[in-house]
Structure 1
Amino acid sequence: MQLVDNPVNKFSNILQNPESDVIKKYISIFELKSLNTSQSVQALIDNFENLDNSDLLKHEVTYALGQMNTDFKYLIKPFLVKVLDTENEYPVVRHEAAEGLSNFCEEDSELLQLFQKYSESNINEKKYGLQFAGTREPAAPFEIEEIQSVKLLSELLNRKYWEKTNNLFRHEICFVLGQISKNANESIMQLKETSADQEENEIVRHEALSAYSSIADDKEFLKLFVNDPSRIVRESAVVAVGLIDYWNNK
C-alpha cells in the first residue's frame, strides 16, 4: 500500500505508461519537480527515455532538473552532461541541458571547461544557451521589470529587430513575453503571429504557444495547432489546452 501512495511512484508510473497522454506526462514531470527530493530527481532521470521520443517532454525534464535543489548536483550534473554530449539529441533539449548545468557551475572548473568547449559549437541552441550561464531561470538578457516599459517592449516587437535575432533569442523573447502582465495586448498579438508563422523555427513557435497560453485563456486559438506538422508545436498546443482544463477543474 505504501508503494501505491508514494507520489514519486505514482508520477513515475504515468511517465512509464505508453498509454499515458502527453498532458498527463507533462503534469507528472512538474509534480516530480515540485517534490524536489533525491527520489523525484532520480525518477525524472530514469524516465527520460520513457517519453516516446517527445522532444517537448525531454526538454521539460531537462528544464525541471536544472531548477531543482543544488544538493542533488551529484545526480543531476552527470545526467545533464550526458544529454549535452549526445550528438543525436534534439538541439533544444541539449540547449536546455546546457542551461540547466549552468545552475550548478559555481566553483566547478570541470563544468566551466565543458561550457568553454561547447560555447564554440555550431549548434546555436546549445552555443547561445551557454551564454546565459549562472541564472536560475531561462531568460533573455533583460529584466521582466525593464520590458514592462512600452519603449523596450516596442523595440522587442519591432519586426526588423525580430528578424535580426537568432532562433534561441526569439525563443527567449517569447518566454519573457509570457511573463508580462502589463501591455499584454501587444505581447498577445506578437505571440499569436509567431505561433501561426509556418516559416518560423519550430522551437520559437513552441515557446510562443506556451507563452501565449500563460497570458490568454484562449482554447480555440490553441486548438488550431493540435494537428500542426511539427510535433513539438502540436504537443505544445495539446498540453496548453489540457492545462487550461486541468487548472479550471482544480
Structure 2
Amino acid sequence: MSRQFRGDDHEPTWEEVKGLLADPEAPVEQRYRALFYARSRDDSEAIEALYKVLEPETKSVLLRHEACYCIGQMEHGLEGAWKLESVMDDVNEHPMVRHEAIEGLAACGSVDSLEKIRPYLTHENEAIRDTATLAVESLENLKQTKDTDAQRSEFNTVDPIGAKARQHATKTEEAAQRLMDPKAKLSDRYAAMYQLRAATLPGSVSPDPEALKALARVLREDHTSALMRHELAFVVAQVAFDADREMTLSSVQALIDSVKDTDEACMVRHESAVALGSVGGEEATKFLREYVQRPVNHDEDESVVIESCKVALDAINFWSDMTTIEEQPTEGSAITA
C-alpha cells in the first residue's frame, strides 16, 4: 500500500515526508509535494531524504529532475554535490535529469565541480550543453567574487546567472529584443529575461504590464534554445502568480500552446505544465483536467508531461483549498466531526 498525505489541511510530519520520498509506489503528486517539504526543511537529513528519490526504484523522470532541483536550491545543497555529479555523469539518466543536476551544481555553488562540468560544454545534447555553458560561467564568477548570495532572486530561488548580470535597467522592448536575439550570448539573453521579470514587480521603479506579455511572446516565438524556453516558462509562472488576471491571459495561452506542442522539447512542455499550476484560473484548470486523461503509450517524454499536468492540478487544488480555509469565518462558527 502506498503512502499518502492525509489531506490538504494536514501539515505532514517529517516521518510522513520521508516515507513518501522513499516510496516509489506513492502518487506522483504526493511525492512531488514531499520534495518541496524537504527543500523547505533544508538540512542534512532533508538532503539524505532527497537521495531516496534518485534511487533506481524511482522511475519518474519528473521526480528525479525535481529532486536535483531541490538539492541545488537548498542552503545545504553543497552536501549533495557528489550526488548531483553522479547523476550528471550517468548516461542512463534522461537528459532532462542530467541537465538539472548540472544546473543544481551551479545553484548550490559547487566550485569544486567546475572541471567535471567543463567536458559537457561540447555535449551532443543541446540542453545539456547550454546548461553547462551557464553553469561554468556562473561558477567561474563565484570563484572570483565568493558571493554565494549573488544568484538568489526576489522570489527566493537561485537563478542560473548572477545578480550583476540582472541588475542593469533597460526598456521592456529592448530587453525583449535581446531575449529574442539568437546571436547574443545565452547569459545575456537570460539577463534580459530576468530584467523583464523585474519590470513586472510592483516594487520596481516603473512596473510595466507589457513585460509579462513580452515573456509569453518569446516563449511562443523562440526556436533557438529549449533551455531558455524552459526557463521562460518558469519565469512566467513566477510573475503571473501574483499578476492581475487580465495580464495573465496571454501567458496562460502561451503555456497551454507549449504543453500541446508535441514537437517542443520535453523540458519546455514540462515546465509550461507546472507553470499552469502556479498561474491557475479556469482556462488552465480545464486544460490540465483534459490533458491528464491522455494515454501515455509507453512514451517517456509524454509521461513527464502528463505527470507535470497532474502536479499542476494538485497545486491549483491546494491553493484553492487554502483560499477557502482563509475565507471561512473565525467567530461564531462551530466545527463538527
Answer yes or no: is 1:126 the counterpart of 2:128.
yes
Find the counterpart in structure 2 of residue 222 from structure 1. 288
Find the counterpart in structure 2 of residue 196 from structure 1. 260
Structure 1 residues 146-225: aligned runs within 5 Å: 146=199, 149=208, 153=212, 156-158=215-217, 162-180=221-239, 181=243, 183-218=247-282, 219-225=285-291
Render the CA deviation track for 1:108-132: whole Å, top value 9, x for unaligned. Answer: 3x32212222122121222111233
Question: TM-score w.r.t. structure 2 length?
Answer: 0.65
Q: 2:55 aligns with which of 2, 26, 49?
A: 49
Q: 1:242 aligns with which of 280, 290, 314?
A: 314
Q: 2:116 aligns with which of 114, 124, 129?
A: 114
Cα 1:166/1:40, change in 2 over 3 Å: same
Provide the aligned length of Structure 1 versus Structure 2.
241
Question: TM-score w.r.t. structure 1 length?
Answer: 0.85
Assess if the C-alpha contact under 8 Å between 1:138 and 1:172 holds in 2: no
Structure 1 residues 135-146: aligned runs within 5 Å: 135-136=151-152, 137-138=158-159, 140-141=190-191, 142-143=193-194, 144-146=197-199
Residue ranges of structure 2 left out of the alignment (5+ in a row):
1-11, 139-150, 153-157, 161-189, 201-206, 297-301, 323-337
Assess if the C-alpha contact under 8 Å between 1:225 and 1:233 holds in 2: no
**1:69 aligns to what SS in structure 2?**
coil
Counterparts of 2:309 and 2:252, CA distance in 1? 15
Find the counterpart in structure 2 of residue 37 from structure 1. 43
Structure 1 residues 77-96: aligned runs within 5 Å: 77-96=81-100
Higher RCO structure (Cα 8 Å, ≥6 apart): 1
**1:64 aligns to what SS in structure 2?**
helix
Counterparts of 1:42 and 1:130, CA distance in 2? 25
Counterparts of 1:244 and 1:155, CA distance in 2? 25
Residue 92 of structure 1: how far off its partner (Å): 1.0
- The letter for the 2-side match of 1:188 is V
Structure of higher CA gyration radius: 2
Root mean square deviation of aligned Cα: 2.5
